[in-house]
Structure 1
Amino acid sequence: MKVDSGSALDGATILANADRIGPLLREHAAEVEAARRLTEPVVNALRSTGVFRMAMPAAWGGPEVDICRQIEIVETLSRADASAGWCAQIGADSGYYSANIDQAAARSLYPDLDAVTAGWLTPAGTLEVCDGGYRLSGRWSFGSGVTHADVIVGGARVTENGSPRLLADGTPERRIAMLPAAQWDVLDTWRPLGLTGSGSHDYTITDTFVPAENTWVHGRSYRSGPLYSWRGMVVVNFVGVPLGTALDACDVATSILDAKVLVPEMIPARDAPRVRAAVARAQAMVGAARSYVYDTVSTFWSVIVAGDEPSIRQRAHLAGLLVHTVSECRTAVRLLVDTVGSVAIQDECSLGRQMRDLDTIAQHTLGKSRMWEWAGAMYFGQNSPSPLL
């Protein structure tokens, strides 16, 4: 296996590299699941593709890959292993998060374009004001990729002399802190049914100094360019994971059914009308979801590239798209699992793992049913409670 690498990587090359490491990711998928984290060969393979640098700016020598190509890259990796695709899209947040702080500080924190970021933005910690910055303490959950990260982030409430510091409008101040991974402690807590290899452990830090320039709030960017001009771009490539997982599940199920004989009928499964109908329905569901993704996101991207602010209706389209993709892909794979039958529940069958992965993805904020409610409210002109939508 040979992948192209170097500072001149572009989106097309990263995509080709992602495709080339597919066999390695498949080979290591069971080992990754057992380890409950990405193993070193998998992390090294992902790093070699350039996926972790895909949102890094051209000013730093990064590829600054457009968002549709990013989805395609994540989708390609997720066809081979959802945990690898999941960690790839989160690790690539480095390019977005580093845009939110002064660029001299950002370059110091990210001297390597392939540096991996992990962490949770929800304010589960406290930033106590001190000279030059803050003292950070807290414990965060769902640190996907935290076991191989170079930089870790944590959302926190700002306190001063132990009391919450308030903004001008009277609401508590919140900031996100970023520090090198060596300054955090990872706790062995991740034992889920799906996305097991993502290593989404809890992590903690106690009374650690964070320079003021290493903290940020949503909505401010120190960079120009479309990738960094809209605060929610960081979550859009998320949809590549359910798409890639479901697309591969369609292929896996079809292959199994092509060789299966139904009992007690003793006829080839491929000849059974219910099997044919299920395969066709699943393919159509995933294909339609995929078309909706690229159509909606490309339209949204054209608005951003033109320098315009997305309307609340355009943001509603995007919010609904996120949960729709997860829902449709999950339903399609459930149909395939039910059609394949007992083969799908065996350890060696990737279809069962793909179902578990999609069940877990559906518990993420972006995949939960309340996202439908948020998207619907936006169609009526009401803003989402999420700062990223």
Structure 2
Amino acid sequence: MQTAAESAPGNSTILSRAAEIGPLLREHADEVESARRLTKPVIDALRSTGVFRMAMPKIWGGPELDIFEQIEIIETLSRADASAGWCAMIGSDSGYYSGYVDDATARSLYPDLDAVTAGWISPAGTLEVCEGGYRLSGRWSFGSGSTHADVITGGARVTENGVPRITADGTPEFRIAMLPAARWQVLDTWNTTGLAGSGSHDYTITDAFVPAENTWFPGETHRSGTLYAWRGMFVANVVGVPVGVALDACETAADIIAGKVLMPQMTPASDEPRMRSGIARARALVGSARSYAHDTIGSLWTTVEAGDEPTFQQRADLAGCYVHTVSTCRDAVRILVDTVGTAAIRKTCPLERQLRDLTTLGQHIVGQELMREWAGGLYFGRSPSMPVL
């Protein structure tokens, strides 16, 4: 374990390193997509930036970056490649997850500040009660970064003698289990339209012993500080991915238009009103989504920083902000593709991949219409089944 004396890089260092590796991420994007996982040069580059440690606590020697600093770093990486940005966002959850269990357990799971976490917290498995803990079995989907993870998580329903255990409020009990990645089996299932390089394969485990101290439930925390005070904070940096992708798409489209001559009229594309309008519309969409995300997250952060619980309206705003950011950025890139024309349908054009990446991201829970429905319910004081909202 790195000590406080060997302090991790702070925001400015991680951010500058994230920008520096942009060319490498772009260079390897085709290879990453073809491999359907991050390749070693990309993993090593990401690890060298310190992005995986950015939520690690200062008491461990970590930078403990606030949520806005994290978003900016994820946005920077996602400009270069969505899959790399997505995996960096997921992998950096280590700083949060290590605070959900006691310190001794956390340090055994995370002996390195740069350890990567992957996995799904929804209860797709079962935790059968046994002496000292549980026996875990199940199969989970969307294990982004599981091919290079150090720790993998899996949400599971708690059973006792094969019968689901019910909580005091009448709902089935579930917990999230964390074990070293070597204990799990990653299945080769990730064949998708976009985010292909994220390696979001299914993964499984069968009748594996999990010590009780290796499990937790959203809301449990062993840490103080604003970053760890609210159960859903670890999700908030997701907005950096669609925004980063869309911002880069705006620049790519502008560069294409600047060098394009329209046929058969033989006039500069940048003189064409519809071209100018397309760029302006896309820029406004991305900028408005980015601003709304920062305002929404900022309001919630201020509340948590004051030691208060987020209101139903703040939680509703955040849930709606997630799906709005994803869908708006996707719409902006679609406008750019239509504006640029045939150049955008070529595999050599970044816009082609960026639209596919955002289309796939739109199928994640943060981009689905269900998230908007949950947001609407929260406005009426109804908490969703999603325990991180």
Question: Normalising by the residue count of structure 1, what TM-score does the alignment of the two structures yield?
Answer: 0.97
1:128-167 alignment, distance < 5 Å: 128-167=128-167
Partner Cα distance (1:194, 1:101) in 2: 34
RMSD: 1.0
1:1-389 alignment, distance < 5 Å: 7-389=7-389
CA contact (8 A) 2:8 2:50 kept: no
Partner Cα distance (2:243, 2:198) in 1: 17
Q: Which residue pairs with 1:3 in the alignment?
A: none
Partner Cα distance (1:170, 1:375) in 2: 23
Cα deviation, residue 264, structure 1: 2.7
Partner Cα distance (1:138, 1:297) in 2: 34
- After TM superposition, the structure 1 stretch with the greater mean CA deviation from structure 2, 24-33 or 156-165, is 156-165
Partner Cα distance (2:266, 2:196) in 1: 37
Cα deviation, residue 229, structure 1: 0.6
Cα deviation, residue 386, structure 1: 1.3
Cα shift readout 1:12-52 (whole Å, capped 9, x = no counterpart): 21111111111111111111011100000000000011100
Cα deviation, residue 169, structure 1: 2.8
Provide the secondary structure at the position in 1 that maps to 2:204.
strand
Partner Cα distance (1:200, 1:381) in 2: 34
Partner Cα distance (2:277, 2:173) in 1: 54
Partner Cα distance (1:299, 1:168) in 2: 32
Partner Cα distance (2:46, 2:379) in 1: 38
Partner Cα distance (2:138, 2:385) in 1: 23
Q: Which residue pairs with 2:3 in the alignment?
A: none
Q: How many residues align?
A: 384
- After TM superposition, the structure 1 stretch with the greater mean CA deviation from structure 2, 318-327 or 72-81, is 318-327
Provide the secondary structure at the position in 2 that maps to 1:275.
helix
Cα deviation, residue 170, structure 1: 2.8
Partner Cα distance (2:33, 2:168) in 1: 47
Cα shift readout 1:100-148 (whole Å, capped 9, x = no counterpart): 1111111111110100000011111111111111111111110000000
Cα shift readout 1:274-302 (whole Å, capped 9, x = no counterpart): 01100111111111111112222222212
- After TM superposition, the structure 1 stretch with the greater mean CA deviation from structure 2, 141-150 or 12-21, is 12-21
Provide the secondary structure at the position in 2 that maps to 1:99.
coil
Partner Cα distance (1:176, 1:248) in 2: 36
Partner Cα distance (1:154, 1:142) in 2: 11
Cα deviation, residue 384, structure 1: 2.6
Cα deviation, residue 380, structure 1: 2.2
Partner Cα distance (1:255, 1:23) in 2: 17
Cα shift readout 1:156-180 (whole Å, capped 9, x = no counterpart): 1111112212222332111110000
Partner Cα distance (1:171, 1:377) in 2: 19
Partner Cα distance (1:293, 1:124) in 2: 30
Partner Cα distance (2:161, 2:300) in 1: 44
Cα deviation, residue 324, structure 1: 0.9
Partner Cα distance (2:173, 2:309) in 1: 25
Matching residue's letter, 2:120 = W
Matching residue's letter, 1:145 = G
Partner Cα distance (2:185, 2:375) in 1: 36
Matching residue's letter, 2:19 = D
Unmatched tracts of structure 2, length 5 or more: 1-5
Partner Cα distance (1:198, 1:224) in 2: 32
- Percent identity, aligned pairs only, is 69
Partner Cα distance (2:218, 2:275) in 1: 48
Partner Cα distance (1:180, 1:248) in 2: 36
Partner Cα distance (1:169, 1:327) in 2: 35
Matching residue's letter, 1:186 = V
Matching residue's letter, 2:268 = P
Cα deviation, residue 376, structure 1: 1.8
Show structure 1 runs of 4+ deviating over 4 A: none
Partner Cα distance (2:248, 2:75) in 1: 10
Partner Cα distance (2:163, 2:290) in 1: 48
Cα deviation, residue 371, structure 1: 1.8
Partner Cα distance (2:353, 2:16) in 1: 25
